[in-house]
Amino acid sequence: MKQTWQPLASGLLFFVSCMGPVLAEEPSNDWPFDRNPPREQSWPFNRDQEVGDREQVTGSEGMRPVIEPGDPILEVPADWDATVEAPLEVFPSAPQVQTGPIRILPPGVGDAPGAPSEFEAPANDPVTLFPAGPNAGGRGDLPTRAVGARPGEAGTGIEVGALGKVDEASVGLLDENNGGFGTAMWSGTDRRVVEQLIVQVPGPTDSPILGTLARRLLLTSARPPQGASSGPSLLALRLQRLNEAGRSDDIARLYARAGVSQPTPAAAMEFALAMLATGDGDAACNLLGGLPVGGDPGTDPVAAFAIKLSIFCQISGGMTAAANLTVDLAREQGLDAPYFLALAVAATDGLSLDASEPRLFDPLIYRMMVLAERSLPGDGVGRLVPALLVPVAEDGALDPEVRIAAAERAAALGVIDGDQMAAAYLAVRYAREDVAGVRVGVEPASPYRRRALFHQAVLDERVPAGRADLLAMLFFREKGGDAYAATLAAHRGSLASVPPSNVLTSFAPLAVRAFIELGDRVRAGMWLSVLEGAAADTQQVRELRAVLRLIDPNTVAGSALPSLLEAGAESVPLASIPPFLQPALNDLAAGGAAREFAALEIVLLDALGLALPASVWDALLVSGGLPGGEIAPVAVTQRLKLASSQNRVGETVLLTLAALSESGVGQAHPQTLSETVKALRIVGLEREARRLAAEALMARVSDGT
């Protein structure tokens, strides 16, 4: 019996000694971390920090660290049915230690239909505390590397960089038929220029034209720009700007329609943020497989987001024990998110930990607040990122005032339409006597409830003249305030229901202004005709007429405006000063705000292609030159001229947004406005050029007082 056992033991020892180096040289691809990291690296389950200088028990080179009995992380679950491939009699006294993966997501979450689960790994894989995405060190976001020329051979240098995936970088929702700028919009543009400038695309903006241009640029389906990449995913950069602008619903539609199967980690994070904002937590959790593991959450925002999203998915799936384990791991790895982790503990154990609230509530924090049953603080709506404004405005479970506050902020940023704004106002219940009280000055103290009451009173009014009176009261009160954009959006239908009439002359200036800002040139012109028929000749009327002239592509105060597209020239010379410019020349001589308005009007007409005689420029020079404003960097405007002259549409739009992103349209210098309007017109975006010019001039219209 002894002779039989000894050869068996000797053979087993020889087999183990041979397998050690093999395991060290060829680790399994399913292992999300380095099997044998250097001691100075961050080992996710390192025991060195706990045992200090105590002697470590190690096996052959390349073997895993020895697991100590009772290890709280690697301890075998009580209900785990472990199997051992080797016969039990070979290891009569060896304990069965679980080394397979622990699934932390609910069944079905994160698995593609018909595809094997990524958690179905071989039995000897390590414990996985959060979903295994790509390794953090192999994300493919390497910077561009320059290889110099060979000595004595100028021009032989090359540049090596990572190119983005074509199927990822080219996806979009818009084409030439629904507002896109065309599949060739990046033709002739260097990829690195796009990567450097796209971060300057405005996120939340109160400029309708800039918001529209940015959305169309970021959602256009187009062939990606050529050239080496400086590292980041172009799709991720686009998604980040869309999320920043509050366009999460567009991102959700893009993800559903475009079918981005393997987004980069940065793009996966932006997709997940959008899904969380729109309330689709399952879709967000399904993106965990594309997020990296093993990165440093203290320095890598994608790695930090992956851990936090894992915790959220575990809690929402009812896996509180796994969530607590991941929370402990997050703390050990240095995740700097005390408020989020406090919410996680409150959602799992009901404990209340002291942690200061962040300055802003992002989608992940907000959804975790819901799990922890925490409500927004009193100033919470003002601290929501734009991506959460529309979901909060449409949440019927919230207080109506919270919904109205969120909807009005969303309207100011142009991410909510009139029907959505009206729905928030209608969430407040009022009796008929409350509605009738508006006409005699009985109003709620809360401004949100007051505007909701006004909205319902306007809808309740059947007589057009009475409706016009209520609208005038409301608009004059809100004009220039934070809720003015919401007032316009919610009452667009009511404005359109009031027919232009000579008996409503006092209401006409307000109607002209409102319809210009709403982009309804036809109705604005109808109400302007009412003013002209009543022989109204105030400064405000003159300025409104000038703004409307910029929008109208066909006429200038009854006279044909030279069409550059038909003439095929850069500009069409005029023999004399056009009659419609005489009021502007008079204002130049008058000085003050009227002079500044007239100077900007002249510059914008020139940018739209109307060649002006030298006498007009002489009058502008004598009056004192152009008004002030924020000037775009010279490098931006010079490149804008070059891009438009070479008909690079995407680059022209991108540079236009970069030139105006800091100042906005209303505060930009006339020279910057002239360059951007002219560039858009040259590349064929004349309608957009006119809208930009009208918005800039509208910002200087007098209030009529």
Give the whole-angstrom CA distance, residue 210 versus residue 664.
8
Give the whole-angstrom CA distance, residue 102 versus residue 344.
20
Is the pLDDT assigned to residue 558 strictly greater than 70? Answer: no
The tally of domains found in the chain comes to 3
* Residue 216 and residue 343 share a domain: yes
Which of 371, 391, 412 marks a domain boundary? 371
Q: Give strand pairing partners of 159.
A: 146
Q: Please give the structure tokens belonging to residue 482.
A: 């934070």
154 belongs to a structural domain: no
CA distances, 423 to each of 121, 428, 456, 530 (Å): 50, 9, 11, 32
How do 158-160 and 559-560 pair as beta strands?
unpaired
Which of 312, 343, 371 marks a domain boundary? 371
CB atoms within 10 A of CB 106: 15
Model confidence pLDDT, tens digit, residues 615-669: 899 999 998 878 889 999 999 999 999 999 999 999 999 999 999 988 899 999 9
For residues 286-291, give the mean pLDDT: 90
Closest to 130 in 3D by CA, of 332, 343, 341, 288: 288
* Residue 186 and residue 116 share a domain: no
* Residue 327 and residue 220 share a domain: yes
CA distances, 443 to each of 398, 402, 454, 504 (Å): 23, 19, 9, 25
Q: What is the 3-state secondary structure of 78-98? A: CCCCCCCCCCHHHCCCCCCCC
- The residue type at 458: V
Model confidence pLDDT, tens digit, residues 294-310: 788 888 999 999 999 99
* Residue 357 and residue 250 share a domain: yes
CB 169 within 8 A of CB 189: no
Give the whole-angstrom CA distance, residue 424 versus residue 400.
7
For residue 259, the model assigns a pLDDT of 64
Q: Give strand pairing partners of 572.
A: 610
What is the pTM for the complete model shown? 0.75
Residues 364, 365, 368, 373, Cα dihedral to 10°? -150
* Residue 363 and residue 289 share a domain: yes
Model confidence pLDDT, tens digit, residues 596-605: 999 999 999 9
Give the whole-angstrom CA distance, residue 620 versus residue 66.
84
Which of 80, 114, 129 marks a domain boundary? 129
* Residue 187 and residue 115 share a domain: no
Is the pLDDT assigned to residue 139 strictly greater than 90? Answer: no
Enumerate the H helices of 182-319 as residue ranges.
191-197, 208-219, 234-244, 248-258, 265-277, 281-286, 301-316
- The residue type at 406: A
Q: Give strand pairing partners of 135.
A: 293
CB atoms within 10 A of CB 563: 13
Q: By percentage, how much of the chain surpasses pLDDT 90?
A: 53
653 belongs to a structural domain: yes
Burial (0-12, 13-18, 19+ Cβ within 10 Å), 491: buried
For residue 87, the model assigns a pLDDT of 42
Least confident of 100-109, 338-347, 551-560, 675-684: 100-109
* Residue 367 and residue 290 share a domain: yes
Give the whole-angstrom CA distance, residue 80 versus residue 58.
27
37 belongs to a structural domain: no
Helix (H, G, I), strand (E, B) or coil at 287: helix
Confidence of residue 555 (pLDDT cuts 50, 70, 90): low
246 belongs to a structural domain: yes
Q: Supply the DSSP symbol for 556.
A: E
Instruction: Mark residue 188 as left, alpha or beta (left: phi above 0; alpha: psi -120 to 50; beta: remaining).
Output: left
145 belongs to a structural domain: no
Burial (0-12, 13-18, 19+ Cβ within 10 Å), 63: middle
Q: Supply the DSSP symbol for 156.
A: -
* Residue 61 and residue 201 share a domain: no
Helix (H, G, I), strand (E, B) or coil at 31: coil
Model confidence pLDDT, tens digit, residues 501-553: 988 988 999 999 999 999 899 999 999 999 888 777 788 889 999 999 999 87
CB 383 within 8 A of CB 361: yes
For residue 559, the model assigns a pLDDT of 44
Residues 616, 622, 626, 627, Cα dihedral to 10°? -130
190 belongs to a structural domain: yes
Range of the domain at 234: 165-371
676 belongs to a structural domain: yes
For residue 137, the model assigns a pLDDT of 45
Give the whole-angstrom CA distance, residue 541 versus residue 537.
6
Q: Please give the structure tokens belonging to residue 668.
A: 């930009």
* Residue 232 and residue 188 share a domain: yes
11 belongs to a structural domain: no
For residue 189, the model assigns a pLDDT of 94
Helix (H, G, I), strand (E, B) or coil at 692: helix
First to last CA, the chain: 112
* Residue 589 and residue 674 share a domain: yes
With both helix axes pointing from N to C terminus, report the angle between 634-645 and 649-660 in degrees, rounded to the nearest 10. 160
Is the pLDDT assigned to residue 24 strictly greater than 50? Answer: no
* Residue 120 and residue 50 share a domain: yes
CA distances, 37 to each of 58, 99, 299 (Å): 14, 18, 19
For residues 16-30, give the mean pLDDT: 42
Q: By percentage, how much of the chain surpasses pLDDT 70?
A: 72
Q: Go through the chain and tell me how many residues it has.
A: 705
Residue 485: which residues within 8 A CB-CB, separation 6 or more?
A: 206, 408, 411, 412, 414
Backbone angles phi, psi at 145, to 5 degrees: -120, 130
- The residue type at 701: V
* Residue 202 and residue 113 share a domain: no
For residues 214-240, give the mean pLDDT: 90
